[in-house]
Amino acid sequence: MKLRPLHDRVIVKRIESETKTASGIFIPDNAAEKPDQGEVLAVGPGKKNDKGELGAMSVKVGDRVLFGKYSGQTVKVDGDELLVMKEDDLFAVVEK
């Protein structure tokens, strides 16, 4: 199944965080926090302004982004857990 987000929404796949600390201690799954980084898989066309013009999106497919731990709506697609959220819910794009 392929998703196409509407308006100013983006589809993000969480990037799993490390399960081992720098000192070598393994973190069990039940103690690990939800990752707050992800990769943008799809981007909507944008949001219309007061004049009805479509505003360009600030993110593109493939961008690595930061977001709140409880941001977005979780959906399962083909066994993958994805997040659908508004562009406003994103905090930043991680530059490489």
CATH topology for 9-16+34-93? Answer: 10 Kd Chaperonin, Protein Cpn10; Chain O (2.30.33)
CA distance 30 to 71: 20
Convert the pLDDT of each residue in 66-75 to its tens digit.
998 888 899 9
Contacting residues for 43 by C-beta, under 8 A, at least 6 apart: 5, 10, 11, 57, 59, 60, 61
Element (H, E) at 86: strand 80-86
Convert the pLDDT of each residue in 24-58 to its tens digit.
776 665 555 555 889 999 999 988 888 888 888 88
With CA atoms as reference, report the closest residue to 13 among 43, 42, 40, 44: 40
